[in-house]
Amino acid sequence: MSKLVIVESPAKAKTIRKYLGSGYEVTASMGHIRDLPQSQLGIDVEKNYEPKYINIKGKEKVIRELKSLAKESDEVFLATDPDREGEAISWHLAKLLGLDPAAHNRVTFGEITKKGVQEGMAAPRAIDMDLFNAQQARRVLDRLVGYKLSPFLWRKVRRGLSAGRVQSVAVRLIVDREKEIEAFKPEEYWNIDAVLCPPGQAKKFTARLAEREGKKLEVKTKAEADAILADVKGDLSGMIRPGADKEAERCKKAIERSVKNVASATAGTLGRQVGNLLGGRLGGKFGKTLGGNLGASLSRNILGTLFRK
């Protein structure tokens, strides 16, 4: 009898079967095989939000074939994708085929190469319940939000719209922020800054008056600012050089120009560095091209080719 390996797609099944050779039967689940029912909420909110899963309509033939193959096999390996959706599919397959989720029958392939498949088959493990629960929580939240809010959108906006766990919260945040903006009442305030130069040093720095007489300084009118400024200048009359006001204004403008120049120069420098390294448009698209789904050895080969001197 052979060992059964279940993957998600028929294309992967064909390739992996070639790498495993005789003694293995490789088949595909065609994605998810169980899900929440479409015609009802499918979540028991009175019993700790327990989901009620059913076999997906149209998957009857696939399920019959999987059960038949599993019954005829000595071992069954669940080799769905190495992400939370794949982990959930493996969990549902285990439930459907009567397998123990805690048994070491879950394998993952970091890359669909002979080496990657052999390494994956050599390291079976139990189903990662944390990963499965992450997918289940996402699915339950999708249903709770969407099932309750979507009909409301159909009545108030347009039929066919859907309310999901992300966009519903995002809309709420936007609305709340817009209300804050509309309710905002602008208040005048003034800062009192001084350009200082320590004795014996040429380098200057800007200091801001934060407290006065032990209390936090809040200046709300120009008249208040002028009065405080006059007092401060009186206290420091012997320390202020002639022409310091004009120098402070020039310093302020120089700082503003520096901030703008640093922002644009930083973006430009980073772009040029990547462009010089990889050349033209390839530099800008390199990070997106090398996605996280590439296997470790394949990524190393690509990088070695690109950066070989």
Indicate the range of 82-86, 277-281, 302-306 predicted with least confidence. 277-281
Roughly what angle, to the nearest 10 degrees, separates helices 280-289 and 244-278? 80
271, 299 contact by CB (below 8 A): no
| Residue whose C-alpha is closest to residue 136's, from 35, 41, 30, 7 | 35
- Whole-angstrom Cα distance, residue 283 to residue 89? 37
Q: What average pLDDT does this structure show over 211-235?
A: 84
The band of 2, judged by pLDDT with boundaries at 50, 70 and 90, is confident
φ and ψ of 25, to 5 deg: -110, 125
Position 24 pLDDT exceeds 80:
yes
The kind and range of the H/E element at 27 are strand 24-28
Q: What tens digit of pLDDT does each residue of 138-178 get?
A: 999 888 888 888 888 888 888 887 777 777 788 888 999 99
225, 192 contact by CB (below 8 A): yes
pTM: 0.57
Q: What tens digit of pLDDT does each residue of 285-299 get?
A: 444 444 444 455 555
- Whole-angstrom Cα distance, residue 89 to residue 31? 7
Position 9 pLDDT exceeds 50:
yes
Degrees (nearest 5) of the Cα angle 58, 107, 6? 25
209, 192 contact by CB (below 8 A): yes
> Residue type at 10?
P
Pairing status of strand 75-78 against strand 3-7: parallel
Q: What pLDDT, on a 0 to 100 scale, did the predictor assign at position 255?
A: 55
The band of 240, judged by pLDDT with boundaries at 50, 70 and 90, is low
Q: What pLDDT, on a 0 to 100 scale, did the predictor assign at position 264?
A: 57
| Percent of the chain whose pLDDT exceeds 90 | 44
φ and ψ of 245, to 5 deg: -60, -45
Q: What is the mean pLDDT of the chain?
A: 81
List, in sequence order, every residue forming a beta bridge with 207; answer none if it has no partner.
Answer: 194
Cα torsion angle, 143, 144, 148, 150, sign: negative
In DSSP notation, 31-66 reads S--EE--SSS--EETTTTTEE--EEPTT-HHHHHHH
Q: What tens digit of pLDDT does each residue of 103-142 get?
A: 999 999 999 999 999 999 999 999 999 999 999 999 998 8
| Residue whose C-alpha is closest to residue 73's, from 65, 81, 62, 63 | 65
* Most confident listed range (1-10, 91-100, 145-154, 252-261): 91-100
The band of 284, judged by pLDDT with boundaries at 50, 70 and 90, is very low
More confident residue, 209 or 167: 209
> Residue type at 21?
G
Q: What pLDDT, on a 0 to 100 scale, did the predictor assign at position 118?
A: 93
Q: What average pLDDT does this structure show over 238-258?
A: 58
